[in-house]
Amino acid sequence: MPVLVSRQGGLCAACGAPILEGERIVYTLETGARHLACEDRSPELRRNRYAARCALCGFLVRKGRGRLDVTETCEDGAFSRVWRVCCSDLMACNERLARVAR
């Protein structure tokens, strides 16, 4: 994984602790920025920066309240990214889906 120097502050996608400007980090598009010590941990805290609808149940997820996933594809040399926001509370998401199915 590429080791970079942080240009701006933010939160670690694995532990949620602040990342300071100038700190050495590990960054990938799929997982986001993480401390070097958090490199082996799973990126559980990658959050959405904007309000969006949940890809599963359609609920409006407020800024910073959902889980963010990205899919990148390449067709004929052209790259495209699809960002999906999902509810962070999967139980509530499943309940909303069950209500719709009734």
Whether pLDDT at 75 is above 90: no
The 10s digit of each residue's pLDDT in 14-44 is 887 888 999 999 988 777 888 999 888 876 6
Please indicate, yes or no, whether the overall pTM of this predicted structure exceeds 0.85: no
Residue 79: pLDDT band (50, 70, 90) is: confident
Which of the pair, 47 or 27, is modelled with greater confidence?
Answer: 27
DSSP string, the chain: --EEE-SS-EE-TTT--EE-TT-EEEEETTTEEEEGGGTTS--TT-B-SS-EE-TTT--EEPTTSEEEEEEEEEETTEEEEEEEEEES-HHHHHHHHHHHH-
Average pLDDT, the chain: 84
Query: Of the ranges 49-53, 65-69, 72-76, 92-96, which one carries the lowest mean pLDDT score?
Result: 65-69
